Structure 1
Amino acid sequence: MGSLKPELFNLQVDNGIDNKRQFSTSRQYSAVLCMNLLTFSYGFTCGWLSGALIIFNSDETPLITKQLKTEEIGWIASAIAIGGFVANLFFGWLSERTGRKVALYVVVVPQLLSWIFVYYARTPFYLVVSRILGGFAGGGLFTLVPLYTAEISDDKVRGVLGSFLVLICNAGLLFAYICGGYFDYYTQIYMIIPFSAAFILLFAKYPDSPTSLIKRKLFDEAEKSFLFYRSIEKYSREAKSLFEDNVLNAQSNDEKDNKISVKDFASKSSKKAITYGIALMVLNQFCGCFAMVVYAASIFQISGSNLSPVNSTIIVGSIQIVGALFASLFVERAGRKFMMIISSFGIAIGFSSLGMYLYLQTIGMKFEGYSFIPLVAFSSAIFLGNLGVITLPFMILNEISPPKIRGFTSVLCMSVLWICVFSVIKYLPNLIEIMELHGVSFLFALNSFIGGVFIVICIPETKGRSVEEIMKIMDK
């Protein structure tokens, strides 16, 4: 962009101020927690159907069509992926045009509309529309929140703040399990809507990210945003220099992104990044963890667990949070590849154990005193899934992708992810009817085992390595 003009930066510089001691990340934490109020609500959307399916198939159903058919259940559950697929493309475009903050406020609209459709639902069609809207909001969040978080965070807290997305989404899912077990259909809606409303009010004071403002040539606003998120009142030369570096980097990356050509995809690193990224997204869904969680209450009904479906799903929801927390704590210590390997093979063992128990049960074996096994096996698979396969592919994808095609690779792989989400959730009820639950458990175990072998052979360890080092490994 050429040399920076001094008049772009109007705030006063105080040479006596040491910003190393003044930098604070408190506003970064509060902003990320605030935007993740919407993520909490999306987690509720994901978990709500588990308990709602029991209501829809009972005498208390609000639907005039009474009990849902298997095909209707599949469409209602999987419709969330249709919205997510469209949102992945739409919000990437919108955030570049209007900024991250405006795009996040747009997310609130489909999120609230989805619950309005749930409230007035009288036929399965209302529920399908609601899930599409909810998925559209979720797709927007998984596009915008990581981007916004990365752009306002200091290096020392970026990893921790980035982990909030999955943690808080899992917290929302657990809240949905609890509400589904202990509150009626309409009360659940009243309990989740305030989270979106709270975001509207609380996030108003936070400025757009500096990077987003720089890309739109709003340098004065970008400078103020930079100072705001670091809680700097007086401006030192060190802080000014850091901001100017951000301007140069943002505009340099923007120029590079606009010059992507076919040649950029010809290198080994580019081909591998796209291939590995797609494979990781397929594993993320075809390991079965997310789909099984969506239908968790119904699955525990089928399995004959000694705990009620409600209590079982609450335990599983809690274990998901613990797994995601462990992932955020140990990913920088143990490494991405090691945790992905443990996660993949661990899911295979967990679902194999569940499948074996259910198979032996179907051939007449009695397990008096051992009816806790389905819960333990299921919970182990979900815990280990959140330790790696569910949480880390998105981080690995960004790390193994060449910077110039990173945006394209992210959009492509997230599109593949949403297609996989739709496929697995839509046809899981049909698979359970055809293969029974034990057969489906064995299938997911096999997929996870194959995924583990793939990770061992192909995926490089990226922990502690620079972009240049990773690209050299990917080019071999």
Structure 2
Amino acid sequence: MEDRSYAYDPVGETGAVNQQAYRMEAGQLWRQYAIAGIANIAIASTGYSMGWTSPVNLKLQNTTDNPIGEPITKDQEAWIGSLLTVGAIFGPFLGGFAASKIGRKWGLLSTSIPLFIGWILIAATKNVGMIYGGRIFWGLAVGMLFTISPMYCAEIATDDSRGALGSFLQAFITLGYLLIYGIGPYVSYMVIAYVGIIFTGAFAVLFFFMPESPFYYLAKANIAIASTGYSMGWTSPVNLKLQNTTDNPIGEPITKDQEAWIGSLLTVGAIFGPFLGGFAASKIGRKWGLLSTSIPLFIGWILIAATKNVGMIYGGRIFWGLAVGMLFTISPMYCAEIATDDSRGALGSFLQAFITLGYLLIYGIGPYVSYMVIAYVGIIFTGAFAVLFFFMPESPFYYLAKGDREAAAKCLSSIRGRSHEGVQAELDLMAADVNASLEKTATVADVFRGSNFKAFYISCALVFFQQFSGINAVLFYMTNIFEAANSSLDSAIATIIIGVVQVIASFITPLVVDRLGRRILLLISSCGTAIGLGLLGMFFMLAQANNPVVDKIGFLPILSLVLFIVTYCWGLGPLPWAVMSELFPIEVKAIASPIATAFCWVLSFLITRYFSAIADALGMGGTFFIFGACCVAAFFFTLFLVPETKGKSFQEIQDILSGRPSKPEKA
């Protein structure tokens, strides 16, 4: 294999996505520091604002340079000092929302708005109330900046600069303090205010020309995945509504059989979605293929919102399933193709992380709002994805496959945050891989030959173990499980707790997968899920036997599910998709991935459709023991047959699968 040591390498071994996107050629590390420094001018401005009370309180305690005309009281002084922190309590939530919706760059720029408003109130103040208002607005900016700035700096940093860039926040805030302490006692109240306004304006102008965080592009690609998580978790709260007549759009309780079909029909649509997704990805591109998934999502939600009978619910679930199957095919493909060798695991793990956000949303609001509100949120969610992802770039691999190198260079430079010249080395490598793949015409038969077949059966086995861990049965019927367990904790609250744990665990995986590797996480995951399911099975066995100890271990269902969910989210959840996107060569990926994905949803259909029937026949305990046994099998399959793909190029992975020796990786 050719030496790639010269190639642009946006990610180090820690797996931080595109973390070298701003590393120029040797000797130009300064650009990262310059970008981080400009990003932290706003932090210095907040330091100036936070230290403002030190010199200004003395001015406000007399009448010589006091804009309100009379000395402030001790109580007013205390409020002036503390109200900034009141604003700062709410700022992080506003900052987190801005960072996710409009990006890190524009989120940081938006902090200049409350800073400007605060300084204008301070400069124009006629009474202490205006000072209070100014301090609260500064606090909002402080809370937003302390949320977004570290996020932005970490995401543009390399391994060897992340610590330095992360410490810029404290360094720059002390610069702000130094400035206000240095000039405050010697200039007038109004000059202090004017300096604050100039400080904020300088940040807004300079940072306007800085690049966006590469993480933001990746997040937008997975908003649709979060939307499908919301759709997939829909059954958990809604089944309870459909079992009574209080908030039931069809007017009568559904039967057990109808409930089983509602749960499983999403997976029927998901069986066919991968083939539609693979076709769309190859014909109209990864970007427009992803955007096209909003069509079946919208149709599904409209059917759900307008439902008059159970047949319309069935139809809505099938359309959601089509979107799920398409997304689970195109999203890993898109993320893998915009990733570098060392970040592919982290980016592939985003799918599981974002789908848990959707689950958490439906678990959090489902039990407490009406059937129609749940549907309206789903429509808004889908619309947000369609609007935001419209502005995201296409995969450069798609343009290269179509022979449009200029468009490929443009979108790659957008993703990496570099000039056209700065991405040419990486683009040359991509073009070589694409040209090699175009020389081969793959058919379905090629999937079952040689190393392709090895990649195929490993991928299918991993999705088999993923589904037969019982994850969809657990998530679709989460509330029912807690009801059946007679848990001492309210089922709706328990479900929300599980959702929170799921999100936290899922966002750990992208941080560690490129450090620890795929195999070790899959081994930990299969072991942990087996233990969790074993404990859950034991609880139901004891409950079925009316064992008195059940009353003392009412906490066990939630403890078992927490262990199961956490360890599932570390490996069996995200990594089959990440590994699948790595194992198949480019020329067979569009054929093999849809087949493996469809196989996954066939299994999911069987489990979700017949989970209730199996649980009735064997009992909940026996059913969970079967799922646990499958997780034990997953452990040994991974141990003996799954190759490690961490940090390896696509060509190196193909060499491993075919048994050919590879040249040593670059240092």
TM (norm. structure 2) is 0.64
- Is 1:93 aligned to 2:275, yes or no? no
Displacement after TM superposition at 1:34 (Å): 1.9
Letter in 2 for 1:254: L
Aligned equivalents of 1:414 and 1:448: distance in 2?
20
Distance 1:313 1:332, change over 3 A: same
The one-letter amino acid of 2:484's match is I
Q: Which residue of 1 aligns with 2:297?
A: 111
**Cα distance, 1:194 vs structure 2:** 2.0
Counterpart of 1:409 in structure 2: which amino acid? A
Shift of 1:275: 2.2
What's the CA shift for 1:259? Answer: 4.5
Residue number in structure 1 paired with 2:192: none
What does 1:199-210 align with in structure 2 at a 5 Å threshold? 199-210=385-396
Partner secondary structure for residue 325 of structure 1: helix
Is 2:374 the counterpart of 1:188?
Answer: yes
Structure 1 counterpart of 2:478: 296
Distance apart, 1:406 and its partner CA: 3.9
In percent, how many aligned pairs have the same letter? 27
2:542 aligned to which of 357, 360, 364: 360
**Alignment partner, residue 455 of structure 1:** 638
- Larger Cα Rg: Structure 1 or Structure 2? 2
Match in the other structure for 2:406: 220
Displacement after TM superposition at 1:426 (Å): 0.7
CA distance in 2, matches of 1:26, 1:157: 18
- The 8 Å contact of residues 148 and 209 in structure 1, kept in 2 or not, is answered as yes
- Aligned pairs for 1:2-401 (under 5 A) are 19-20=24-25, 21=28, 26=212, 28-64=214-250, 66-155=252-341, 157-233=343-419, 235-236=420-421, 238-256=422-440, 258-260=441-443, 262=445, 265-267=448-450, 269-366=451-548, 367-401=550-584
Deviation at 1:76, TM superposition (A): 1.0
After TM superposition, give the deviation of residue 169 of structure 1 in Å.
0.9
With over 3 angstroms needed to count, the CA separation of the structure-2 counterparts of 1:155 and 1:466, relative to structure 1, is closer
Deviation at 1:404, TM superposition (A): 4.8
Contact 1:350 1:378 in 2 (8 A): yes
**C-alpha distance 158-445 of structure 1, shift in aligned 2 (>3 A):** closer
Give the superposition deviation at 1:333.
2.8
Amino acid at match of 1:191: V
Question: For this pair of structures, how many residues does the alignment match?
Answer: 456
Asked if structure 1 preserves the Cα contact closer than 8 Å seen for 2:274 and 2:595, the reply is no
SS at match of 2:245: coil
Once the 2 structures are TM-superposed, how far is the Cα of residue 422 of structure 1 from its aligned partner?
0.7
* TM-score, normalisation: structure 1: 0.88
1:119-158 Cα shifts (integer Å, max 9, x gaps) = 1122221111111111111122112222222333445544
Residues 196 and 406 of structure 1: is their aligned pair in 2 closer, same or farther, counting only changes over 3 Å? closer
Give the residue type in structure 2 aligned to 1:313. T
Describe the shift of the 1:405–1:51 C-alpha distance in structure 2 as closer, same or farther (beyond 3 A).
Answer: same
Residue type at the aligned position of 1:344? S
Q: Deviations over 1:172-214 (max 9, x none)?
A: 1110001112211111222232222223332333332222122
Aligned to 2:97: none
Relative to 1, partners in 2 of residues 1:287 and 1:196: Cα closer, same or farther, differing over 3 Å? same
The 2-side partners of 1:437 and 1:56 are apart by 22
- Against the structure 1 CA distance between its residues 356 and 263, is the aligned structure 2 distance closer, same or farther, given a 3 Å change threshold? closer
Residues 48 and 263 of structure 1: CA distance in aligned 2, closer, same or farther (over 3 Å)? closer
The aligned amino acid for 1:270 is N
Secondary structure of 1:62 counterpart:
coil
Return the alpha-carbon distance in structure 2 between the equivalents of residues 163 and 401 of structure 1. 17
For 1:138 and 1:128, the matched residues in 2 are separated by 15
Q: Which amino acid aligns with 2:402?
A: R
Cα distance in 2 between the residues matched to 1:18 and 1:386: 32
The more displaced of 212-221 and 135-144 is: 212-221
Distance, in Å, in 1 between the alignment partners of 2:374 and 2:527 is: 37
Q: Which amino acid aligns with 2:373?
A: T
Contact 2:269 2:320 in 1 (8 A): yes
Amino acid at match of 1:421: S
The Cα RMSD (Å) is 2.5
Q: Which residue identity is paired with 1:193?
A: I
Instruction: For residue 27 of structure 1, report the CA deviation from its aligned partner.
Output: 5.2
In the alignment, is the contact (CA less than 8 A) between 1:70 and 1:430 conserved in 2? Answer: no
Alignment of structure 1 residues 425-436 onto 2, 5 Å: 425-436=608-619
- 1:330-349, Cα deviation, whole Å (9 max, x unpaired): 32233322222222122222
Shift, 1:118, TM fit: 0.9
Q: Give the Cα–Cα distance (whole angstroms) in 1 for the partners of residues 529 and 393 of structure 2.
A: 42
How far, CA to CA, are the matches of 2:302 and 2:444 in structure 1? 44
Q: Distance in 1 between matches of 2:522 and 2:413?
A: 38
Change (3 A) 1:81 1:187: same
2:269·2:322 contact (CA, 8 Å) conserved in 1? yes
In the aligned structure 1, how far is the partner of 2:575 from the partner of 2:281? 24
- The amino acid across from 2:476 in the alignment is V
CA contact (8 A) 2:335 2:347 kept: yes
Q: Secondary structure at the match of 1:26?
A: coil
Which sits farther off after the overlay, 224-233 or 44-53? 224-233
Gaps of 5+ in 2: 1-21, 33-155, 157-210, 660-667
Letter in 2 for 1:273: A
Q: How far does residue 271 in structure 1 lie from its aligned partner after superposition?
A: 3.3
What is the rounded CA distance, in whole Å, between the counterparts of 2:24 and 2:350 in structure 1?
Answer: 27
Q: Distance in 2 between matches of 1:315 and 1:394?
A: 26
3-state SS, counterpart of residue 646 of structure 2 = coil
Cα distance between partner residues in 2 of 1:254 and 1:101:
21
Please state how far the C-alpha of 1:432 moved relative to its aligned partner.
Answer: 1.7
* Separation (CA, whole Å) in 1 of partners of 2:444 and 2:252: 54
**Distance apart, 1:117 and its partner CA:** 0.9
Q: Closer, same or farther in 2 for the Cα pair 1:19/1:472, shift >3 Å?
A: closer
Q: Which residue of 2 aligns with 1:410?
A: 593
Distance 1:413 1:276 in 2: 10
CA contact (8 A) 2:444 2:592 kept: no
Secondary structure at 2:554 match in 1:
coil
Q: CA deviation at 1:407?
A: 3.8
Amino acid in the other structure paired with 2:383: A
